[in-house]
Amino acid sequence: MCLCDDRFDVGLTFRGGSWMLKLNGLASSPGSANDGHTRRNFLTIGSLAALGTVSSGWSLPSILKAEAAAGKKKSPKSVILIYLVGGPPHQDMFDLKPEAPSEIAGPWRPIATNVPGMEICEAFPQLARISDRFSIVRSLIGNQADHDACQVFHGRDPRLPKPAGGWPQFGSMVSKVQGQFDVSAPPFVSLCYQCSHGPYNEPGTGYLGASHSPFRPMGPTKDDMVLQGVTLDRLADRKTLLRSVDQLRREIDTSMMMSGIDTFTEQAMGLLTSSKLAEALDLSQEDPAVIARYGTGDPTIFVDSNGAPRVPQSMLMARRLIEAGVRVVTLNYSKWDWHGGTNVEGYPNNSIFAREAEDFPIFDKCVSALIEDLDQRGLSDDCAVMIAGEFGRTPKISNIVGRDHWPQVNCALLAGGGMRHGQVIGSTDRIAGEAVARPVTFGDLYATLFKHLDIDINQATLVDNNGRPQYLVTEGGTALPELI
Q: Where are the domains of the chain?
A: 1-71+226-274, 75-214+281-471
* Contact assessment for residue 479 and residue 449, using Cβ atoms and an 8 Å cutoff: no
Whole-prediction pTM: 0.80
Superfamily of domain 75-214+281-471: Alkaline Phosphatase, subunit A (3.40.720.10)
Q: Average pLDDT for residues 460-475, to the nearest whole number?
A: 97
Whether the pLDDT of residue 459 is over 50: the answer is yes
In 3D space, the residue among 188, 183, 186 whose CA is nearest the CA of residue 274 turns out to be 183
Phi, psi (degrees; rounded to nearest 5) at 411: -130, 165
Span of 6-20, 26-40, 150-164, 390-404 with lowest mean pLDDT: 26-40
> How many Å apart are CA 183 and CA 400, to the nearest integer?
53
Whether the pLDDT of residue 40 is over 70: the answer is no
> How many Å apart are CA 144 and CA 410, to the nearest integer?
10
> How many Å apart are CA 292 and CA 128, to the nearest integer?
20
Whether the pLDDT of residue 198 is over 50: the answer is yes
> How many Å apart are CA 313 and CA 293, to the nearest integer?
10
Max CA distance (Å), the chain: 77
Q: For position 39, what pLDDT does the model report?
A: 30
Whether the pLDDT of residue 356 is over 80: the answer is yes
> How many Å apart are CA 1 and CA 13, to the nearest integer?
7
Q: Average pLDDT for residues 383-399, to the nearest whole number?
A: 97
> How many Å apart are CA 424 and CA 138, to the nearest integer?
7
Q: Using 50, 70 and 90 to split pLDDT, how confident is the model at 254?
A: low
Q: Average pLDDT for residues 432-461, to the nearest whole number?
A: 98
Q: Average pLDDT for residues 211-237, to the nearest whole number?
A: 60
> How many Å apart are CA 446 and CA 440, to the nearest integer?
11
On the 0-12 / 13-18 / 19+ scale of CB atoms within 10 A, 198 is exposed
The DSSP bridge pattern shows strands 18-25 and 41-44 to be: antiparallel
Span of 132-141, 226-235, 244-253, 374-383 with lowest mean pLDDT: 226-235
Q: Using 50, 70 and 90 to split pLDDT, how confident is the model at 75?
A: confident
Q: Using 50, 70 and 90 to split pLDDT, how confident is the model at 186?
A: very high
* Contact assessment for residue 409 and residue 432, using Cβ atoms and an 8 Å cutoff: yes
Tell me which H or E stretch contains 192. Answer: none
Span of 86-95, 167-176, 302-311, 449-458 with lowest mean pLDDT: 302-311
